[in-house]
Amino acid sequence: MPSKFDQPLSRENTGAVKYDARQAVFGRPDVIPLWVADMDFAAPDAVVQALQKRASHPAYGYTLYPDSLYEAMIDWYRERHQWHIQRDWILLVPGVVPSLHAAAMAFSAPGDGIIIQPPVYPPFFSAIQKTGRQVIENPLEEENGFYRMDLEHLEACAARADAKILQLCSPHNPVGRIWSREELTAVLDIARRHSLVVVSDEIHCDLGFPDKPAHQMLGALASEQDALVTTVAPSKTFNLPGLGLSALVVPDPQRRAALKDVFDSMHMLQCNPFSMTGFEAGYRHGGAWLDELLVYLQQNRDFAVHTVNSDLPGIRTSEPEGCYLLWLDCRELGISDAELKRFFVHEAGVGLNPGITFGDQGSGFMRLNLACPRAVLETALMQMREALARR
C-alpha cells in the first residue's frame, strides 16, 4: 500500500538548507540532496495544525513556557523510554549545538580537554575548538562495518589531568550504533572514576529501528549524583529542526545553574511562540505518526543496504541500529576524499556528506540520508550504480 511518506514534498525556494544551499555546497543546484539530517516528509498533522492555530492569533510577543509543555515532554520520555524526569531538571535552550558550546564553557576552562568518539557529528569538534578547548579523540573501533567503543582507551583518555568532559553521541551519528546497556554502564563507571562530566547528545533517541535493540537513555541508568547532562529535542523525531528548541536534562542543581548562567550571559533563553507550540504538539500528539515513520524508514534502510551491497561495486554498508543515516564505506574505490566527493556530485548527481568531515576516521566514507520518499532513494541509488558502471 502507498504510504503518506511516499508523497513528494517540494522544499525548493523555501529557504531549506538541504535544497537551496546546493549550489553553494556542491557547485550545482540539481544534485539529489541526501545530506543535511532533516527529513523530506511533512511534519505530523497535529504539529501543523497547532502551528496554524497559534499563527492565527495575531500577537507574537514575549512568551512563557507553559506547564503543559513540560508535562508533554515528561510524559513522552516516561512512556517511550521509561525515563522518569523531574520538571526542575529541565532547562529549555535554543538547540543541541549551542548546548555543546555552553557545556564546554560551564564545565571546563580554556585549554582543558574534551573527549569525543570519532567519526562523529562535526559540531562535536567545532564546539571544542571554538571555545578554546582541546580535542581528545577516543576513536571508535570498526570491524566489518560494526562499530564499538574502545573502552580501554576511553579510560586512558579520561585519566588525563586535562580531561574534563566526555561528549557522547547516542545513538551515534554517523555510524548508527545504539549503545548497549553494558557499554553505557561502562561509560558511567569511567566518568565516575575520573570526575568527567558526560554530555550525552540523544537527539536521535526516538529514531531506533523497530527490528533493532531499543535505545537506552543514559539518564535512566545514572543516579541523580552523576555528572550528566542529556540533550534531547523533538526536532529530529518530528522533522522540526528549523523551530530551534531543545531541552537539557540536568538532575544536579549546581550543574544546571552553571549551564543556565552561560545561556543567561548571552540572553539566549527567550521563547519563540512557534518553537514552543511545535515542541509540545510533537511530544503530545506525534506518537502514532512516529511509529508509522519508523516502519517506513526501516523499509528504506533495508532497500538501500541491499542495493548498495549487491549493486554498487566498491561501496559497502551495514544496517544502522538508529538514526536515518547510512554510512557508506567507499574505501575500495581507492580514490581520495576530494575525488570521492567529486564522483558523487558530478558523476552520480547526488549530494552526500563527506565522511572526512566527521574526523580523520571518516576518510573514504560518505553519509547518506535515508529520510526521503522511496522513489527519490531509488533514483539516487540508480544514478550511483550507473556512475560506477561508467568508471
Give pLDDT tens digits for 297-346: 999 999 999 999 999 999 999 999 999 999 999 999 999 999 999 999 99
pLDDT of residue 268: 80
Contact criterion met (CB below 8 Å) for 136 and 116? yes
CA nearest neighbour of 47 among 275, 293, 372, 371: 275
The whole-angstrom separation of Cα 207 and Cα 212 is: 11
Task: With 0.85 as the threshold, say if the pTM is over it.
Answer: yes
Q: Give the domain ranges of the chain.
A: 4-44+288-390, 60-285
> Could you tell me the pLDDT band of residue 1, with boundaries at 50, 70 and 90?
confident
* Three-state SS at 50: helix
CA nearest neighbour of 188 among 151, 233, 231, 136: 151
Average pLDDT score, the chain: 97
pLDDT of 271 strictly over 90: no
CA nearest neighbour of 32 among 356, 346, 297: 346
For residue 330, the number of C-alpha atoms closer than 13 Å in the C-beta half-sphere is 26
pLDDT of residue 342: 98
Set of cell numbers at residue 145: 562495518
* Number of neighbours of residue 270 by Cβ within 10 angstroms: 9
**259-277: average pLDDT:** 91
Render pLDDT for 125-137 as a digit per residue (tens, 0 to 9). 999 999 999 999 9
pLDDT of residue 366: 98
> Could you tell me the pLDDT band of residue 141, with boundaries at 50, 70 and 90?
very high
pLDDT of residue 115: 99
pLDDT of 23 strictly over 80: yes
Number of helices and strands (H, E) in the chain? 15, 14
pLDDT of residue 138: 98
The whole-angstrom separation of Cα 167 and Cα 229 is: 10
pLDDT of residue 2: 81
Q: Where are the beta strands (DSSP E) in 187-335?
A: 197-201, 228-232, 246-249, 325-329
pLDDT of 389 strictly over 90: yes
pLDDT of 388 strictly over 80: yes
Q: Which residue has the cell 574505501?
A: 331
pLDDT of 28 strictly over 80: yes
* Three-state SS at 156: helix
The whole-angstrom separation of Cα 157 and Cα 160 is: 6
The whole-angstrom separation of Cα 364 and Cα 355 is: 7
Instruction: Please give the CATH topology (third level) of the domain spanning 4-44+288-390.
Output: Aspartate Aminotransferase, domain 1 (3.90.1150)
% of the chain residues with pLDDT over 70: 99
* Three-state SS at 25: helix
pLDDT of 270 strictly over 80: no
> Could you tell me the pLDDT band of residue 167, with boundaries at 50, 70 and 90?
very high
Contact criterion met (CB below 8 Å) for 75 and 67? no
CA nearest neighbour of 280 among 56, 10, 110, 71: 71
pLDDT of residue 267: 87
pLDDT of 264 strictly over 90: yes
Pick the CATH number of 60-285 from 3.30.470.20, 3.40.50.300, 3.40.640.10, 3.40.50.980: 3.40.640.10
Render pLDDT for 57-106 as a digit per residue (tens, 0 to 9). 999 999 999 999 999 999 999 999 999 999 999 999 999 999 999 999 99
Contact criterion met (CB below 8 Å) for 337 and 364? yes
pLDDT of residue 234: 98
